Amino acid sequence: MSFKELVDGLVSKFSEFFSSPEAQNALKNADQKAEKSSNSTKNCYSCKTGQAPLTPQQAQSLHTEMAGQKDIPFNYAPDCCYARAERMSQLMSDKGIPNAKTWAYGNLKPKKESGAPVTAPNGKPIIWGWHVAPIVPVQSQSGEVVDMVIDPSLRNRPLTIPEWEATLGTVSVSAQSDKSVYLRNPSGQYRTQKNAPLFNKLDIAFSRHKRSLRGAGK
């Protein structure tokens, strides 16, 4: 048998193998599995870390834990969302929990669960130009993985991004970012905490806002 005949015979056998019903079914199943895996995370920005998602129960426990952090001024509505988001992100990362951030911009008039407006320490309704909070990947019972927002300043449970934006009122622009983004404008320009203005540094922001709360008798 010549070398050409040997090669032709091998090619023929491989062609027969890949065209067999068994091979075609195996390839179809692999494609479906890959598509299902891709579809299950296509709406999840925080999944980009490649780490395992949380269960809904774990997400609720995480939210409760974050809400209990005494050093984070969740009750200071006028400002400080960027520092709160950064601190929560740090705590999550320390625990090995994958996370990112979600941003909303517009004429934001946040509302409480009751529908009443979120108010400043002086009792006046809050109007924000932007807001930010951390997001984590959560897998539902159906297998889909979605971003869930951890924002104890607005709710006592995790929210999907659309649910979170609905609590804010009129959102003109929204975006998601890596957890390292500390300050971000609607055009996408950003700063990390390292190169943020001194006035906005996390510890200084917390200290400033806690003094404001004490001055308001909160």
Mean pLDDT over the full length of the chain: 83
pLDDT in tens, 49-103: 788 999 999 999 999 999 999 989 898 888 889 999 999 999 999 999 999 999 9
Closest CA to 80 of 185, 191, 194, 182: 182
One-letter amino acid of 45:
Y
Show me where the domains of the chain are located.
Answer: 3-40, 45-215
pLDDT in tens, 99-127: 999 999 999 999 999 999 999 888 999 99
* Fold adopted by 45-215: C8orf32 fold (3.10.620)
- CA–CA–CA angle 49, 190, 51 (5° rounding): 5
- For 6, which DSSP code? H
Which backbone phi and psi does 175 adopt, to 5 degrees? -160, 160
> Could you give the 3-state DSSP secondary structure of residue 125?
strand
Tokens of 94: 């320390």
Closest CA to 150 of 63, 32, 33, 27: 63
Q: Please give the model's pTM, rounded to 2 decimal places.
A: 0.78
